[in-house]
Amino acid sequence: MRHNLFYALLLLLPGRVFAQVKSGNPIFPGWYADPETAVFDHQYWVYPTYSARYNQQVFFDAFSSRDLVHWVKHPDILDTGAVRWARRAMWAPAIAEKGGKYYFFFGANDIQNDSSVGGIGVAVATRPGGPYRDYLGHPLIDEFHNGAQPIDQAVFQDPADGTWYLLYGGWKHCNIAKMRSDFTGFIPFADGTVFKEITPESYVEGPYMIYRKGKYYFMWSEGGWTGPDYSVAYAMADKPTGPFQRIGKILQQDMAVATGAGHHSVLHIPGTDDYYIVYHRRPLGETDANHRVVCIDKMVFDKDGKIMPVKITREGVDARPLR
């Protein structure tokens, strides 16, 4: 607490002569990927995938920080012991806070067809750092709809009317669905569709959505997750259901810094128009597909609301204590 207070005061000093404190990249040690980010209880939180072989991906860790620089690890917030139907490949968390509870969405088992056990599940806790327990006792989505593998879920609440949406999908297909207010299932759209496909050009996986100044920004990962071409692109629309036309890439490798930059989330500083992109990448020289680390860099919009290409860095971002 003392060092966080020190840095907060330091950053407020006018005309300070001290060097700015930076997060550095990666922001915490270890092989992790697919980071979800949020602000809870005046702290930043990151929920990543443990990056290892599928049979070793049987738990989730979380990380919290008060300033984006100093991170605390919260180990094993959810594992297969708490989810009887999950046995491997626990991936790509998404999280939502509602009514004083924290709902943790995750993929498990990497199912390949509708007869396999697994898909997208939900866990719940009373604290952001868990421990989490299985909420439903079964997957929320356990079948393929519109060709989308049930993985890589993202949760989005529409500020226009409070509706909660789930976006998800691997195998180059993305669906959006309206969730019930208790997150136990889905509400059909006006046309009777439950899972509406919104797949844009070049989509592969890792969907994410934010709302800014009347526009819905839909982002996703392109390329192969094991290769250097992994990257993030985006589209904009007037509704969360689109239609979405690809605008271009905003995040990709820099051969002077790292490769395989992709599968991101977006951190919005409350009460500001400041945004950061939190993503994984592969350090130069690493050839193991699972050697991925979590990084953070600034995400900036131009005067027309377009997202400018992100410069990936080794330095990361300035310390940003929450006020």
Q: Where are the domains of the chain?
A: 2-299
Strand partners, 166: 155, 177
Choice among 67, 110, 134, 205 that is catalytic: 205
Residue 2 has pLDDT above 50, yes or no: no
Q: What is the DSSP string of 195-229?
A: SEE-PPTT--EEEEEEEETTEEEEEEEES-TTSTT
Q: Phi/psi at 275 (nearest 5 deg)? A: -135, 145
Mention every residue, 6+ apart, whose C-beta is less than 8 A from residue 92: 34, 36, 49, 106, 107, 151, 152, 153, 206, 263
Choice among 34, 36, 134, 222 that is catalytic: 34
Strand 101-108 with 43-50, pairing: unpaired
- Tell me the mean pLDDT in the region 93-105: 98
20 confidence band (pLDDT: 50, 70, 90) = low
Strand 59-65 with 196-197, pairing: unpaired
Q: What is the DSSP string of 255-271?
A: TTTEEEEEEEEEEE-TT
With contact defined as beta carbons under 8 Å apart, do 33 and 54 qualify?
Answer: no
pTM of the predicted protein model: 0.93
| Assigned fold of 2-299 | Tachylectin-2; Chain A (2.115.10)
pLDDT at site 323: 80
Residue 17 has pLDDT above 70, yes or no: no
Asked if 197 is an active-site residue, the reply is: no
Q: What is the mean pLDDT of the chain?
A: 94
Asked if 79 is an active-site residue, the reply is: no
Report which of residues 11 and 105 the model is more confident about.
Answer: 105
pLDDT at site 10: 43
Residue 188 has pLDDT above 70, yes or no: yes
